[in-house]
Amino acid sequence: METKQFKAESKRLLDMMIHSIYTHKEIFLRELISNASDAIDKLYFKSLTDDKVGMNKEDFAIRIYADKDSRTLKIVDNGIGMTSEELENNLGTIANSGSLKFKNENKLDDDNQIIGQFGVGFYSAFMVAKKVTVISKAYGSDTAYQWESEGVDGYTITEAAKDTVGTEIILEMLDDTDDEKYGEFLDTYRIKGLISKYSDYIRFPIKMDITHSRPIELSEEDKAAGKTPEYEEYIETETLNSMVPLWKKNRSELKEEDYKHFYTEKFYDYNSPLKYSHVVNEGMPSYNALLYIPSKAPFDYYSKEYQKGLQLYSNGVLIMDKCEDLLPDYFGFVKGLVDSEDLSLNISREMLQHDRQLKVIAKSIEKTISNELKKMLKNEREKYEEFWKEFGIQMKFGVYNGYGINKEKLQDLILFTSSNENKLVTLDEYVTGMPEDQKYIYYATGETIARIEQLPQTELVKDKGFEILYMTDSVDEFAVRMLASYKEKEFRNVSSDDLGIEKDEKQEEEIKAKEAESADMLKVMAEALDGKAAKVVLSKRLKSHPVCLTSEGEISLEMEKVLNAMPGDQNVKAQRVLEINPEHEIFGKLKSISEAGDNDKLKKYANMLYTQAMLIEGMTIDNPVEFSNLICELM
Ligand code: ADP
């Protein structure tokens, strides 16, 4: 008998196939089961128009047999089978898909269920098997044939004995190595796991005879004698796949419990989801989706390890466990899956070409999530706030990232803590509540709310009865800077020089006069702070505090802190301004030192007040010892 060589290009392809197309060896089972399901689909399709097929839908099944003694795994289907020519063409030429040809010949549109189209899946068997035998009898043929191969060296086709129509694939598993335990694929438990992971929603039952054991009932005598029962083995045929995916069921048939149960099982989260949504999209591309918002952020959510993404199915077969392209980063917390028949799969069924349909689906998913969140914000405020505490920071990053390209989509979903009772508010709520004479949206930044509340810079704004947004996350100020304004109201940091608060002309003039009077003193102090603060001025905003630190220009003190905490040598500096409260006792003290001409002492005071202001801001000071010595000296 002559051993045929694979077609020249096939050899290389097969080698590549075995070693590089797939990242996980375990998917061979998914590929073989998908082929079996395709073959059954083809015969089922024929049976609809051809009475001679003599099969009912319930008769079709895929069977799995695992035998550890002979290290063989058998996948058997009663589908359409292959003639010797088909064995030759389909399995002798890699990348020749009989399924695609069948689709084209029968002018099937994309709605049919046939999965295969690339003509490579079958060879994934060689990732785990040293020898593959295919025994097949085609529908309408009297003779069965056997195709046999041990990999790149070629294959043989001979006549074989098989009574029924269909195909048997027999894999003789590779020997175990230190790294790979191929024998695992013969464990019932492992097989069950793989089927429920990859092939749960194949439309035909995948059956396996499973051996269980049970105690043999004891006779009354033996029972009385206290004997322990012996065990006997028995075999039960189990169907390993659930066939109809939850997301393809009618929404009206499903209860909240079904969705929640599915979530906790599938996504290994023991907390029930906060929200779920079942999407059925009949447009083009058509898809079904189940989307979940977890109630708690996964433990690794804020680490590099976390991978966003939705599961992607094509016709009920899992293609990708985490399809990142389906979720924007700012909705990266969403869990769930998408199933579509309209995707163009690439060669390994693993990755999709970045195709148009996928993009359209992603867009529509994003809209759904955004609408769900808006609905929750409007109708279930408490729930939304719960959600916000878990995942809000992500959305604030979303506002900032990409130079604010998504800010419009997100601005109505973000919340900040308000100085009014420390409640969370939306920007819309803030702006709606603004009194007429309020020009800006005020915000203050700091490590904690308690700290912000003590900031002297908030005094004037609060005295005016204006609300302040408290920002404690480092991304916050970057996000509002990116927004720049909301409903035509600009954002203003309470530490910035112009607060747009209506001037008290009299006070202005008084301060101006005082500043002119103290010009020399302020100059000496500024000299003392050379390289630290750009200016020393008299404050219009301070009420009770002696000093505060503010900034001029683009970079605020908080931004300076955040940017300098980032990796790399940033060395960003805000233009700092030391403000002194002219109503405070300390001002009189400074004046008398200045009048006495003790410039040395004045410089020491300048340094001490500056350091004090830094501490109030929550900034770290360079030399605490020096500061402490300075205080003692001046006391
Ligand atoms: P694909 O499934 O992507 O077309 P495969 O390499 O997995 O590619 O299979 C090649 C071809 O072999 C299939 O298109 C199909 O025509 C045929 N084939 C594979 N397995 C079976 C089977 N169990 N029954 C009938 N035909 C099969």
Per-residue pLDDT reduced to its tens digit, 358-399: 889 999 999 999 999 999 999 999 999 999 999 999 999 999
Q: CA 18 to CA 206: how far, in whole Å? A: 26
Lowest model confidence (mean pLDDT) among 55-64, 178-187, 494-503: 494-503
**Core vs surface per residue 499-519: b (16+ CB within 10 A) or e:** bebeeeeeeeeebeeeeeebe
- Res. 6 pLDDT band, cuts 50 70 90: low
Q: Which helix (H) or strand (E) holds 290?
A: strand 287-293
Average pLDDT over residues 84-100: 72
Q: Which is nearest to 182 in space by CA: 33, 64, 25?
A: 25
Query: Is there an atom of ligand 1 within 6 Å of 77 CB?
Result: yes
Q: Whose CA is nearest to atom 10 of ligand 1?
A: 119
- Secondary structure of residue 62 in the 3-state scheme: strand
Q: CA 585 to CA 168: how far, in whole Å? A: 96
Q: Two tokens at 142? A: 């009297």
Asked if residue 421 has pLDDT above 90, the reply is no
Question: How many other CB atoms are there within 10 angstroms of residue 399's CB atom?
Answer: 26
Q: Whose CA is nearest to atom 13 of ligand 1?
A: 98
Given 3-state DSSP classes, what are the helix, strand and coil percentages for the chain, each rounded to the nearest 5? Answer: 40, 20, 40
Rg of the Cα atoms in the chain: 36
Q: Give the pLDDT score at 111.
A: 43
Atom of ligand 1 nearest to the CA of 102: 16
Fill in the amino acid letter for 100: L
Average pLDDT over residues 171-180: 95
Query: Is there an atom of ligand 1 within 6 Å of 397 CB?
Result: no
Q: Which residues pair with 214 in a beta bridge?
A: 232
Average pLDDT over residues 547-560: 85
* 587 contacts 545 by C-beta, under 8 angstroms: no
- Res. 486 pLDDT band, cuts 50 70 90: very high
Average pLDDT over residues 119-144: 91
Q: How far is the CA of 78 from the centre of ligand 1 (A)?
A: 14
Distance, CA of 237 to chain centre: 39
Q: Two tokens at 368? A: 């759904």
Question: How many other CB atoms are there within 10 angstroms of residue 173's CB atom?
Answer: 21
Query: Is there an atom of ligand 1 within 6 Å of 125 CB?
Result: no
Mutate to test the pocket of ligand 1, among 35, 37, 93 (most ligand atoms within 8 A of CB): 35
Cα torsion at 570, 575, 580, 581 (round to 10°)?
-100
Q: Give the pLDDT score at 276.
A: 96
Residues in the chain: 635
Q: Whose CA is nearest to atom 5 of ligand 1?
A: 119
Q: Whose CA is nearest to atom 20 of ligand 1?
A: 35
Residue-wise pLDDT tens digits, 269-297: 889 999 999 999 998 889 999 999 999 99
Q: Which helix (H) or strand (E) holds 470?
A: strand 468-471
Average pLDDT over residues 507-525: 89
Query: Is there an atom of ligand 1 within 6 Å of 345 CB?
Result: no
How many helices (H) and strands (E) in the chain?
A: 21, 22
Mutate to test the pocket of ligand 1, among 29, 41, 44, 99 (most ligand atoms within 8 A of CB): 99
Mutate to test the pocket of ligand 1, among 90, 126, 319 (most ligand atoms within 8 A of CB): 90
